[in-house]
Amino acid sequence: MDYTPLFNRDCKFLGGRPARRRVSRRAAAAGAGLVLAAAALAALLAAPPGRASREDTPPVVERPLALPPGAPAAGVAPARTGDDPAQADAAGDAVARVGGPGKAATPRWRTLTVRRGDSLARLLAREGIDPRTVHALVTSGPEARRLRRLRPGERILLARDAEGAVTALRYPLGLERTLEVRREGDGYRARLLHHPLERRQAHAAGVIEDSLFTAAQKAGLSDRLTMALAGIFGWDIDFALDLRPGDRFSVIYETLHRDGERVGEGGILAAEFVNRGRVHRAVRYTDPEGRTGYYTPEGRSVRRAFLRTPVAFTRISSRFRLRRRHPVLNRIRAHRGVDYAAPHGTPVKATGEGKVIFRGRKGGYGKVVMIRHGARYVTVYAHLSRFARGLRAGRRVRQGQVIGYVGATGLATGPHLHYEFRVDGVHRNPLTVRLPAARPVPARHREDFRRRTAPLVAALDTLRRVQLARRD
């Protein structure tokens, strides 16, 4: 779900009211425009050419998790989202030291939030900054081109002197980098600032009483990490149907720190989920070739070649049954799939990587997509309202790629997805069929895998003992 904003020219000034249709007014406006254009051209020629400098990226410091025996498995509070190099106060201002060599000015920083449809020119025009200054900022060096593509919700930090002239601008590009445009002489110079991050390990544990999200929030996990946890074990556990009170989880994850202060969170390093008494474990491993995945402590991939469910559903309206009274035909008829009730227009995803062998209308299926996965497997997605743009027979799709949207075409009484899973041409129950696993850790990397994941497995063992001790 990416939302790419439309490109706006940064030097387009949108302020002012339309002029009245009188010849004298038009002539005056034309004369004023020529004067402003000449002044802007003269300033541009007089300003020194902008340069950009890139500092070397500092190394990332890693601090492992220390779990003393008997330590409580308490979670860590969710990460703060603030990533400004200068922290804003309640009024949206902050004080930070800025200036070239030998200068000790401490201007006040003002935090500006990008609105929908904003360009840099429109954003700064609300602060009374003229288009000529905006042009100088965005042409201050190659790195300053990033200012031409602002997204809603992003923040710009602006510093001005006593006369109101812009002395510096900072645009955070994530936790590790900030674009800074600073006044130097009669012009501006752009450069990238790099912020060294320290990666630490944190842990959280919880017991399911009502839902996974409720238990995760009590344990201190953010929604993002909770979704990541569900994604890791989603091939083995149906988190909409399989959870029971008393199920428990333990998570070891990364936290990001800058100058000793927590500024964000990384990914999950290791996790354990006990569902209905069955223990599921996963550790993250990056092999020497740069491929990252989650594996069991024995080196088997926790990922499957297929997702268990293709849609975010509200309920299962009809299960796999060989004898079912059809709601439309009103006669006994085999139902060789699972119906997932969901709102009209809900995205439907391919459960596995494969090739589209049919896209179109087919009898009672209505609008349907059929995908072949290798030589043995075929999945079917029926009653769609429409297909994803560009999808056609013969095209390959990725696992998790949106292929269509929930509808009620064909023989359907309401919006839902009819999903079938066929093995060697035989219909199998999608809820219970054994899904083939992805490739395990290659034999040539097995020793490296055991060496690098042994501390994470030991930490999971400690968390389990502590959690069981607390329950007793």
- Indicate whether 213 belongs to any domain: yes
Tell me, yes or no, whether 261 and 271 share the same domain: yes
C-alpha pair distances (Å), 406 with each of 18, 41, 350, 388, 393: 47, 56, 13, 11, 19
Encoded tokens for 261: 């202060």
Q: 406 and 386, same structural domain?
A: yes
CB atoms near residue 38 (< 10 Å)? 10
pLDDT band for position 336 (50/70/90)?
confident
152: which 2 tokens?
């809603």
Q: Quickly list DSSP for 84-98.
A: -SS---TTSEEE---
Q: Does 78 reside within a domain?
A: no
- Residue at 45 is within a domain: no
Position 27 in a domain:
no
Can you say whether residue 22 is alpha, beta or left, with left for phi > 0 and alpha for psi between -120 and 50 degrees?
beta
Per-residue pLDDT tens for 226-272? 999 998 998 788 787 788 999 999 999 999 998 888 888 899 999 99
Looking at the structure, do residues 253 and 322 belong to the same domain, yes or no? no
End-to-end CA distance of the chain: 44
In the prediction, which pLDDT does 322 show?
66
| Backbone region of residue 382 per phi and psi (left: phi > 0; alpha: psi in -120 to 50; beta: other values) | beta
Per the structure block, which two tokens stand in for 315?
């309920």
C-beta neighbour count of 302 within 10 angstroms: 20
Q: Are residues 341 and 365 in the same domain?
A: yes
Asked if residue 190 and residue 55 are part of one domain, the reply reads yes
Cβ within 8 Å of residue 459, ≥6 positions away: 65, 67, 203, 252, 270
24 part of a folded domain: no
Segment 323-351 mean pLDDT: 79
Task: Decide if 97 is inside a domain.
Answer: no
Residues 233 and 115 in one domain: no
Q: Are residues 171 and 291 in the same domain?
A: no
Question: Per the domain annotation, does 25 fall within a domain?
Answer: no
Q: Are residues 299 and 339 in the same domain?
A: no
- pLDDT at residue 445, as a whole number: 93
Domain boundary among 150, 168, 196: 196
Chain segment 18-43, per-residue pLDDT in tens: 333 444 444 444 454 544 444 443 44
Specify whether 397 is located in the same domain as 418.
yes
Asked whether residue 153 falls in the same domain as residue 204, the answer is no
Q: Are residues 208 and 293 in the same domain?
A: yes
Residue among 168, 214, 215 at smallest CA distance from 191 = 168
What is the CATH classification number for the domain harbouring 248? 3.10.450.350
228 in the same domain as 149: no
Q: Which of 6-10, 223-227, 345-349, 398-402 has the lowest mean pLDDT?
A: 6-10
441 within some domain: no
> Which of 196, 219, 238 is the C-terminal boundary of a domain?
196
Q: Final residue of a domain: which of 163, 196, 229?
A: 196
CATH number, position 384:
2.70.70.10
Based on the structure, what is the number of domains in the chain? 3
Residue keyed to tokens 């056609």: 392
Q: Is the pTM of this model over 0.75?
A: no
Closest residue by Cα to residue 384 from 399, 398, 373, 371: 371
Q: Distance of alpha carbon 157 from its chain centroid, rounded?
A: 24
Per residue in 117-167, pLDDT (tens digit) is 899 999 999 999 999 999 999 999 999 988 988 999 999 999 998 888 899
The boundaries of the domain holding residue 382 are 315-428
Mean pLDDT of the chain: 79
> What is the spatial distance between Cα 404 and Cα 51, in angstroms, rounded to a whole number?
48
